[in-house]
Amino acid sequence: MKTRIIITIIFVSLGLIIAAVPENTTKPYKLTANELLDEVKSGTQFVHPDQVADMVVQQDPTLQLIDIRSKEEFEKYSLPGAINVPLNDLLSDEWKPYLNQDIYLNVLYSNGTTRANEAWMITRQLGYKNNYVLQGGLNYWVETVLNPEKPGMTSPDDEFAKYNYRKAASNALGGGGAIEQKQDVKPAKLPPIKKGNKKKMVQGGCS
């Protein structure tokens, strides 16, 4: 019986200590220029169109497509379920809850990759997580997902599997010439704003 009381006292006192000390004081978030360069070099920010197409077809609730082109371009054509955050307004408070959250997988896209990459670098520098870039942008999306090219007869089986998959995805996403088709997919809900969690700002570096 005595050892139980001792163990209980140890656990309870450890609990009291951990409740009293402030959280995570030792490691504030910092992203140095070097770390950012490493990320850019390794290209971890890119998501392949096949993966995005798969998530769109599956109606994966964790996916949030973000169109960073201008409003006119967005209205002309956008991916199903995408929201429009023009690069110029990237830092406005309106979009902050979308960009700085830890629920959805944000995939930024523009026509090519340059502008989406710029947006990604800014969000990364601010310490936001879960933001990614659609590899190759919309141009590559149209090329690979909407109008997949039939592989040559001598191509490996993988290529054919990929082609068949893309063809199916293309049908589901209104590809094959029918680019203007509107999809009835609503944008994901605004993530709940976390309270009591201080925003980690970049310290030092090139803020």
Residues forming the site for another protein (CB under 8 A): 8, 11-12, 14-16, 18-21, 23-27, 29, 61-62, 101-104, 191, 194-197
Nearer to another protein, 76 or 194 (CB): 194
Q: How far is the CB of 169 from another protein (least distance, A)?
A: 17
CB of 8 to another protein, least distance (A): 6
Residues 169, 53 contacting (CB under 8 angstroms): yes
Nearer to another protein, 127 or 151 (CB): 127
In this complex, which beta carbon is closest to another protein, that of residue 24 or of residue 154?
Answer: 24
In angstroms, what is the minimal distance from the CB of 15 to another protein? Answer: 4
Decide whether 174 or 191 has the Cβ nearer to another protein: 191
